[in-house]
Structure 1
Amino acid sequence: MLNRKNKLLLLKVLSLFSVVRGYNLLIIVLAQYLASIYILAPHLPLRKVIFDIDLFVIVLASILVIAGGYIINNFYDAEKDLINKPTKSMLDRLVSQRFKLTTYFVLNFFAVFAASYVSFKAVLFFSAYIFGIWFYSHKLKKIPFVGNFVSATLAITPFFAVFVYYKNFETVIFVHAIFLFLLILSREIIKDLENMSGDMAQNYRTIPIIYGVGVSKMLITILILLTLIPSLLLIFKFDVGYMHYYFAGCIVLLILFLFILFRSNTKKQYVWLHNIIKLIIVVGVFSILLINVNLVLNRIL
């Protein structure tokens, strides 16, 4: 049995894990490695990619910066989250704001320090990434559409780091990136619909608050319809192995998503829409394995 002190320590660890969204970090690590193996460097032996120290450091620096980003975002959104996410917010508050800020600076320091192992350009890249996340959380988040666009851009930046490392400029990679960017941008506007109560209370100038729910739904619809274009290209124009089944499933799910969107008018329904997009993204990470099933089977057998 855990005593009171150990229970409190465990709760604080869980609180910090919640603040940095540890489950998201694990998915991002997996996505970066799978993208490297199957999309960015398919010509390299599996062992050479997995045991590449420079790639490991780039992934590590990415995760440290993203974790720090979640912390600074949580810091600025503390009051808003009390309204939008009361249960999660109460767990997050088990760790003091001072400790969160200290952890934020420590994580960013180690990210830049790790990047210095790769190159000075990597140091500049991750320093700019850290500044971009802070500037978004401090200023840009409250500007309608600009905040959404920057947030989506920051979300795909870790993959850009790996992309630059491998210097693979094939068109199929850009099509994958556009597909992911449009999904994330759609999700950001859905989150604004989901969080309207807290945003209004804290004077956030989001798209639903400034332009209304109807305009927000139209923007989401346009973005989802645009997402269908890279999906169709990846099915019919590019060789993505069995992953074309994933994109076919996405088209069906996204069309269903649009029908649900225009019937939604409550926070619970917007949360469902948010989760649909999140599901598509997470399943997409694991679906990267379908690009080369033979490689997977050879390693298993």
Structure 2
Amino acid sequence: MALIKPFLKLIRWPNLVFIILTQVVFEFCIYRPVYAGTIPEHNTFQFVLLVAASVFIAAAGYIINDYFDINIDLVNKPDKMILDRKLSRRWALAWHLALSAAGIICTAVAVNVFARWYLVIANLVCVILLWFYSARFKKDLLIGNIIVSLLTAWTIIIIFLSKYSFQHAFSHNDPGQIRLFRFAILYAGFAFIISLIREAVKDIEDMPGDQKFGCKTMPIVWGINATKVYVTVWLTILIIMLLVIQFYVLQFRWWWAVVYCFAAIVLPLLYIFKKLLSAQSTSDYHQLSRYTKMAMLTGILSMLLFYIYL
């Protein structure tokens, strides 16, 4: 029992809950309303397995990340160390392998490996990318940030692709498929961009340890001011995209959706924009990282509104 709490911290259980929440609201607030009354009986079992696969693979990724980051974490967050203090590295590696295998098996069972084999391969690629991200890519300029952002977007895309093949996804015979595709791209795109923003902010926050161990992250290579410019550019793009989408949504008179998006997503992003310009200390960037994660949460929760309107 004494090891349960450290283990839950190691696998970042709040982040796993976030993944579950994202996939659940997409399934029940987007997909099911679009196809109300026509959902196959096996769909719920398939969905539960896919969520389990996403959680297992993500948990394995967090474990291997800490495994490779022990020295850096001793500098950046010594008070939050789990490995070598409460859990051994050998057990961590064993759990990584077991959870990764469980994730691939769940995917294969969920999607019928012979029908949608590419989803099994895709999740296997996710496992491999998480390993190489932790071992190497996170220390390099931009590539680590892009990998994390793509994997964040993938949690939505995999649910969409589990319903249809690539061929059916672009079919014009079923308006529902096109509608679902648009929602998947919208929310995956949002997740991708806001993850790019958060990863860059975290790079600034983690500079002391990263610099000591030879990492070549954006703030180390480009400098903090250039990294701030990079973040503000993506913030600006995201805010403009959200405002354009609201003008489109106004055509359907979805007033509550517009009000929610502006109050709960756009305004917090503008606040992040303002705080970024004045941020100086590590604690400032840690706070910005938390604000960005909260904006991601409110963005994902906006799917709840479509349960009303669809």
TM-score range, shorter chain: 0.7 to 0.9
Give the deviation of 1:47 after TM superposition.
10
Amino acid at match of 1:142: K
16 and 222 in structure 1: CA distance in 2 versus 1, 3 angstrom threshold: same
92 and 186 in structure 1: CA distance in 2 versus 1, 3 angstrom threshold: farther
Q: Find the counterpart in structure 2 of residue 225 from structure 1.
A: 236
Q: Is 2:50 aligned against 1:39?
A: no
218 and 282 in structure 1: CA distance in 2 versus 1, 3 angstrom threshold: same
Q: Deviations over 1:11-43 (max 9, x none)?
A: x21111011011111121121011122223422
49 and 132 in structure 1: CA distance in 2 versus 1, 3 angstrom threshold: farther
Q: Structure 2 length as normaliser, TM-score?
A: 0.85
Q: Find the counterpart in structure 2 of residue 5 from structure 1.
A: none
Amino acid at match of 1:112: I
Q: Find the counterpart in structure 1 of residue 266 from structure 2.
A: 251
**What RMSD over aligned residues (CA atoms) do the two structures have, in Å?**
2.2
Question: Which 10-residue stretch deviates more, 206-215 or 143-152?
Answer: 143-152
Q: Which one of the candidate residues 180, 191, 197 is aligned to 1:180? A: 191
Question: Which 10-residue stretch deviates more, 226-235 or 236-245?
Answer: 236-245
Question: Which 10-residue stretch deviates more, 177-186 or 42-51?
Answer: 42-51
Q: Is 2:61 aligned against 1:69?
A: yes
The CA distance in 1 between the partners of 2:98 and 2:184, in whole Å, is 33
Q: Find the counterpart in structure 1 of residue 122 from structure 2.
A: 125
Q: Which one of the candidate residues 152, 155, 159 is aligned to 2:149? A: 152
How many pairs does the alignment contain?
286
Give the deviation of 1:245 after TM superposition.
2.5
Give the deviation of 1:227 after TM superposition.
0.5
Question: What SS is found at the alignment partner of 2:278?
Answer: coil
Task: Give unmatched runs, 5+ long, in structure 2.
Answer: 165-176
39 and 93 in structure 1: CA distance in 2 versus 1, 3 angstrom threshold: farther
8 Å CA contact retained: 1:178, 1:230: no
Question: What SS is found at the alignment partner of 1:205?
Answer: coil
The CA distance in 1 between the partners of 2:63 and 2:25, in whole Å, is 26
Q: Deviations over 1:113-144 (max 9, x none)?
A: 22221222132222111112112112211111
The CA distance in 2 between the partners of 1:240 and 1:206, in whole Å, is 44
Question: Which 10-residue stretch deviates more, 64-73 or 135-144?
Answer: 135-144
Task: Give unmatched runs, 5+ long, in structure 1.
Answer: 1-8, 296-301
Q: Is 2:210 aligned against 1:207?
A: no
The CA distance in 2 between the partners of 1:245 and 1:85, in whole Å, is 39
Amino acid at match of 1:52: T
Amino acid at match of 1:31: T
Q: Structure 1 length as normaliser, TM-score?
A: 0.88
Q: Is 2:108 aligned against 1:116?
A: yes
8 Å CA contact retained: 2:12, 2:59: yes
